[in-house]
Amino acid sequence: MIFKDSSLLLQCPKCTVINYLDPFTFWNFKGKIKCAGCDAIWEYALVNGHRQGPPAEGKAPHDRLPGFAQTTDWKPITTPGKVAPAPQAREDFQGKPIPIAKSIRGKVVSGSPLKAEDLVGSVPKMFYTGI
Amino acid sequence: MTAAVSKNLKDMTFEDFCRTVFDTTKRFEKPETLKGVRVVSTTQYILGPSCACYLAELGAETIKVELPKRGEPMRHTTPFNEPFLYPLSRWMPDKGTGLGFFGANANEYFLSLDFHKPEAIQIMKRLAAKTDVFCENYRAGTFDRWGIGYRQHAQVNPRTIYQWMGGFGGWGPGRNRASYDILGQAQGGCFSITGWHKEYGGMPSKQTIWIMDYWGGAISAFNIIACLYWRDNVSNKGNFLEYSQVHGAQRHLTDFISLYGKTGVVAQRFGNWEPLLCVHGILKCGKSSYPNSKNPQEQEVGFCFVSAYKDEDFVNLCNLINRPDLAKKYPTHSDRVGADAQSAIYPELEKWAADKTKEQAWEEFKKAGLVSQPVWNSKEVSAQEHYHLRGSLAWIDDPTFGDVQTQVLPALMSETPPRVRWVFKPVGADNEYVLAKLCGYSGSHIAELEQKEII
Amino acid sequence: MGFIHGTGAPVAFGGTPTRSGWWLADQVGGTFAAMGAMAALFAREKFLGKGQFVECTAAEGVMRIIDYNWGWHGMDGSVRPRYGNWDLAINIYAVNPCADGQIMVGGGHDRLWFRIWRAVGKDRPELEQHICEDPKLRVVTDRLPHYMQVETYTTMCDWTKDKTRAQCEKSLQEEEVASGGVSFLDEVCEFPHYKYRGHLEICDDTNYGKVLIGASSFIGMNTPGRIKWIGRTVGQDNEDVYRRLAGLDRERLKALRKGGVI
């Protein structure tokens, strides 16, 4: 329990998963939070980011989901229903580089990793050899 | 322009006249405004690069100098780590440049140079002899210490215009502090007056865009062009300019600063309402315009701006929402501009809008003769033919990256229009071109510099 | 123009689209118009030999400076979301709450990233260790996804909650990290550095008396910008302008005044 006494990092006393209570939502908060690791419900209060006491076990339903959670060995938990949803720019959220070959109007754009042999000088070869 | 065309222009309606003289398809047939001006940009992030970029869009030959290999830090920023344009450079084809780099580096030539090597200083000195404008945003005094600042350049080339840009300026007790756009917003005072008030659950908010950087760059570019004019037409002298980001913020918050100076009142944030005018704000409409979309940005309910601060407009607005009593209660502008009145009026407007999409509200406002505009997201703006016709948005065939949509400098000019030729290029893409053309280096010399990791 | 849609906190954080607290679009549009006009003057004298028509709108001014919105949408159809006081493309680069307000901390690339956590670690070594040993946060671009930003800033706020803006600034500036508290306008007006440099000045205006204003941000060695008066009353310069430039005499001026023309 590295974060036994932390305020915004709520480490679950049952399963030791670290629940991140993001400052946007939780800076001033009083209510029930569901642990993303074991679904335990914790009654918890924060004033100006300072917790008003250790988490106390409560009953469902919860008020808020944590912004993010992970285990002590950094295995992330991002399953919908366990943590709050991420703001998304598209319907699918990846958070990693997306290989793109065509722009939204269907023309070629160089949005995917290349190999040395795919280049002429600094320019992708496809724009020289025809697409 | 021939006489026949001039006569034609004279007989046209004003709209046709504008369409003809600003015709964006003819941009490349016209000369460029800053033709023949050479700019060297040793800048990173957005403030400095955007300044050089505006000059490049106006036609200056702009050479961007950045560190070899990884290039400048903005190449490694991209929203949510998702979109990249490849290659980062001919040496790293499998890495890409993030879109954080987009919009501040168009039309430039890309030279890579490691300033920590003595040969690099020699190259900079050679460039200085042939350059009109320097844009720089290292920590104040760094280039002077390295022997490539204004004082040294001016000895070789007294017509040099040297623009330093940064956060807190080159002198004063806080000069050593580093700065970013968001720091300019925070410490310049913009932050504290944006967003909802605490009572409405809000906190000070930043402007979503890197406003202090992009806009500071625009002010710097304006200053540079003014100095070019002064140099060429008045004095034949160069200039040393400094732009402090926080200073720019304060210059343009003047009404709030004067309020404090006169009365000691500290302006607070007022959400989507306007402290000086009422009604002049953004309403929440209860319905999403795209309820079936899978994109969460489109599922959101709409917002619509409406302006009705004049008495007769306010009466129209109250009639539209079936609350003529409000018009009687707040007949004059001074009756309704106070915080209490605004707090009473806006919720009534939002009640009316609760069963409407932003387009439906917009239609109704238009019918009532009121100025209004739905809050558009980037997809809706991209879809506006208006902006593509005017050329402020353009799809271009970028020589390196293919089909990209980009913004273009918004000053439409009838004789010497700005234009975007490419959005940016990979790190070091123009090493050979720049070093051969301006420094007179041979191919083998350039290869040697590359091998020694100087470029 | 995508600006208001993108300003404010995301729905998940309870936010709505938000307008800027100052007349940003007008200021930006005006700057671009001035740039266009100045550039046209330059071209007129340099090679064009004639004037030209310049048009500029506030909306397009904002569209020009709205980062990567158009490129991003063009590549994969993304619609830029709101992201509150955090940044979609840089982590760490944000304003977060602290004991007496809000504190900005910036440092996206590695050198600054580790310095920031070193500053945090002086008080809370377990937080520094937790972040620096996280394998997901080793590469600059890997720190950008939303959940990584939640992890970063929540951890940082567990440190800032115990410190005032000034204390945060001091700790971070010891490590040469760019940081600063969100200043209210009285704090801006009284900040010694700005006063020393003359960012704010008292304009002793002939019409309006002493007015505190933001000074011209054009600092040039040979051609400094200056503000001579903050504005004139309506028609104050009629006499001078109409006589000097339009050649009107006293009688014609009187007639115009009577007719309500001027």
Residue C134 in tokens: 């996280």
Residue B102 in tokens: 């987009």
Q: Is residue C138 part of a domain?
A: yes
Q: Are A1 and A17 in contact (CB under 8 A)?
A: no
Apex CA B255: angle with CA B250 and CA B258, to 5°?
A: 85
Same domain, B12 and B56: no
Same domain, C115 and C165: yes
B406 touches chain A (CB under 8 A): no
The average pLDDT across C223-250 equals 92
Neighbouring C-alpha atoms within 13 Å toward the C-beta of B371 = 8
Dihedral (Cα; B317, B320, B324, B326), 10-degree rounding: -40
- Host H or E run for residue C158: helix C146-160
Q: Are C62 and B381 in contact (CB under 8 A)?
A: no
Identify which of B355, B357, B381, B347 has the alpha carbon closest to the alpha carbon of residue B304.
Answer: B357
Dihedral (Cα; C159, C164, C167, C169), 10-degree rounding: 90
pLDDT digits (tens, 9 = 90+) for C111-137: 899 999 999 999 999 999 999 999 999
Same domain, B20 and B43: no
Peptide bond into B279 cis (omega under 30): yes
Residue C144, helix vs strand vs coil: coil
Same domain, C46 and C118: no
The average pLDDT across A20-25 equals 92
Reported for B121-128, long-range contacts at CB under 8 A and 24+ positions apart, including other chains, are B121/B146, B121/B147, B121/B148, B123/B435, B123/B439, B124/B40, B124/B42, B124/B65, B124/B148, B125/B152, B125/B156, B126/B438, B126/B439, B126/B440, B127/B40, B127/B63, B127/B438, B127/B439, B128/B40, B128/B152, B128/B153, B128/B156, B128/B157, B128/B160
* Distance between first and last Cα of chain A: 57
Q: A100 pLDDT exceeds 80?
A: yes
Q: Are B302 and B358 in contact (CB under 8 A)?
A: yes
Pairing state between β B109-112 and B61-66: parallel
Residue A129 in tokens: 């050899």
ipTM above 0.90, yes or no: yes
* pLDDT at position C1: 60
Place of tokens 């919908």: A80
- Host H or E run for residue A13: none
B8 touches chain A (CB under 8 A): no
Q: Is residue C245 part of a domain?
A: yes
Q: Are B406 and B420 in contact (CB under 8 A)?
A: yes
In which band, very low, low, confident or very high, does the pLDDT at B5 lie, cut at 50, 70 and 90? Answer: low
Q: Is residue C197 part of a domain?
A: no
Residue C2 in tokens: 């995508």
Apex CA B97: angle with CA B95 and CA B103, to 5°?
A: 170
More confident residue, B421 or C5: B421
Mean pLDDT, chain B, rounded, equals 92
* pLDDT at position B117: 94
Beta bridge partners of B39: B62, B133
Identify which of B186, B187, B334, B189 has the alpha carbon closest to the alpha carbon of residue B256.
Answer: B189
Q: Give the separation between CA A81 and CA B300, rounded to whole angstroms.
A: 20
Same domain, C102 and C165: yes
Residues from chain C contacting residue B15 (CB–CB below 8 Å): none
Same domain, C128 and C170: yes
| Enclosing domain of residue C99 | 93-182
Same domain, B205 and B154: yes
Closest CB from A25, A48, A86 relative to C161? A48
Same domain, B230 and B333: no
Q: What's the Cα-to-Cα distance from B326 to each of B305, B312, B313, B343, rounded to whole Å?
A: 19, 13, 13, 13
Same domain, C60 and C115: no
Q: What's the Cα-to-Cα distance from C86 to each of C13, C62, C91, C147, rounded to whole Å?
A: 12, 20, 8, 12
Q: Give the separation between CA A110 and CA A103, rounded to whole angstroms.
A: 9
Same domain, B372 and B443: no
Q: Is residue B257 part of a domain?
A: no
Per DSSP, C182 falls in state P
Q: B10 pLDDT exceeds 90?
A: no
Domain stop point among C22, C46, C76: C76
Q: B328 pLDDT exceeds 50?
A: yes
Q: C38 pLDDT exceeds 50?
A: yes
Number of domains in chain B: 3
A111 touches chain B (CB under 8 A): yes
Same domain, B294 and B400: no
C32 touches chain A (CB under 8 A): no
Q: C191 pLDDT exceeds 70?
A: yes
Q: B32 pLDDT exceeds 90?
A: yes
Q: What's the Cα-to-Cα distance from B337 to each of B208, B247, B277, B344, C247, rounded to whole Å?
A: 27, 30, 6, 11, 44
| Enclosing domain of residue B6 | 1-30
Q: Is the CB of B208 less than 8 angstroms away from the CB of C85?
A: no
Buried-exposed string A58-71: b where 16+ CB fall within 10 A, e elsewhere: beeebeebbbbbbe
H helix intervals, B190-309: 211-230, 245-251, 254-263, 296-299
Number of domains in chain C: 3
Same domain, B357 and B399: no
Q: B1 pLDDT exceeds 50?
A: no
Q: Give the separation between CA B136 and CA B125, rounded to whole angstroms.
A: 15
Q: What's the Cα-to-Cα distance from B30 to each of B406, B421, C35, rounded to whole Å?
A: 21, 14, 19
Same domain, B96 and B2: no
Residues from chain C contacting residue B54 (CB–CB below 8 Å): 35
Same domain, B88 and B168: yes
pLDDT digits (tens, 9 = 90+) for B110-146: 999 999 999 999 999 999 999 999 999 998 999 999 9
Q: Is residue B389 part of a domain?
A: no
Residue B134 in tokens: 């320097």
Q: Give the separation between CA B235 and CA C222, rounded to whole angstroms.
A: 10
At B199, the amino acid letter reads E
> Measured between CA atoms, how close is C249 to chain B, in angstroms?
33
Residue B319 in tokens: 């009639």
* Distance between first and last Cα of chain B: 46
pLDDT digits (tens, 9 = 90+) for B165-176: 998 888 998 888
Same domain, B157 and B44: yes
Residues from chain A contacting residue B290 (CB–CB below 8 Å): none
Q: Is residue B255 part of a domain?
A: no
Backbone angles phi, psi at B303, to 5 degrees: -130, 145
CA C223, B212, C178, B96 torsion-angle sign: negative
Q: Is residue B120 part of a domain?
A: yes
CB contact residues (below 8 A), chain A span 37-96, against chain C: 48-50, 67-68, 70, 74, 76, 78, 83-90, 93, 95-96
A108 touches chain B (CB under 8 A): yes
Q: Are C90 and C66 in contact (CB under 8 A)?
A: no
* Distance between first and last Cα of chain C: 38
Residues from chain B contacting residue A84 (CB–CB below 8 Å): none
Reported for C48-54, long-range contacts at CB under 8 A and 24+ positions apart, including other chains, are C48/B31, C48/B415, C48/B416, C50/B415, C52/B413, C52/B414, C52/B415, C52/B416, C53/B18, C53/B21, C53/B22, C53/B413, C53/B414, C54/B411, C54/B412, C54/B413, C54/B414
The average pLDDT across C202-225 equals 92
Same domain, B442 and B368: no
Q: Is residue B241 part of a domain?
A: yes
The average pLDDT across B255-276 equals 90
Nearest-by-CA chain A residue for B378: A89
Q: Is the CB of B403 less than 8 angstroms away from the CB of A108?
A: yes
pLDDT digits (tens, 9 = 90+) for B146-160: 999 999 999 999 999
Q: Are B99 and C89 in contact (CB under 8 A)?
A: yes
Q: Is residue B261 part of a domain?
A: no
C71 touches chain A (CB under 8 A): no
pLDDT digits (tens, 9 = 90+) for B426-444: 999 999 999 999 999 999 9
Q: Is residue C45 part of a domain?
A: yes
CB atoms within 10 A of CB C173: 17
Q: Indicate which CATH number applies to the domain containing C114.
A: 3.30.1540.10
The average pLDDT across B193-222 equals 86
* pLDDT at position B7: 63
Q: Is residue C55 part of a domain?
A: yes
Q: Is residue C187 part of a domain?
A: no
Buried-exposed string C91-111: b where 16+ CB fall within 10 A, e elsewhere: bbbbbbbbbebbbbbbbbeee
Residues from chain A contacting residue B195 (CB–CB below 8 Å): none
Q: Is residue B102 part of a domain?
A: yes
What percentage of residues in chain B have a pLDDT greater than 70? 98
Q: Are B350 and B334 in contact (CB under 8 A)?
A: no
Q: Is the CB of B103 less than 8 angstroms away from the CB of C67?
A: yes
The average pLDDT across C156-169 equals 96
Identify which of B362, B363, B329 has the alpha carbon closest to the alpha carbon of residue B348.
Answer: B329
Q: Give the separation between CA C216 and CA B223, rounded to whole angstroms.
A: 11
* pLDDT at position B249: 87
* pLDDT at position A131: 59
Place of tokens 């930043």: B206
Q: Is residue C125 part of a domain?
A: yes
Q: Give the separation between CA B398 and CA B421, rounded to whole angstroms.
A: 7
Q: Are B420 and B58 in contact (CB under 8 A)?
A: no
Q: Is residue C58 part of a domain?
A: yes
Identify which of B413, B23, B28, B14 has the alpha carbon closest to the alpha carbon of residue C37.
Answer: B413
Q: Indicate which CATH number applies to the domain containing B355.
A: 3.30.1540.10
Q: Are B247 and C194 in contact (CB under 8 A)?
A: yes
Q: Give the separation between CA C48 and CA B56, rounded to whole angstroms.
A: 18
Same domain, C67 and C97: no
Same domain, B434 and B294: no
Same domain, C63 and C119: no
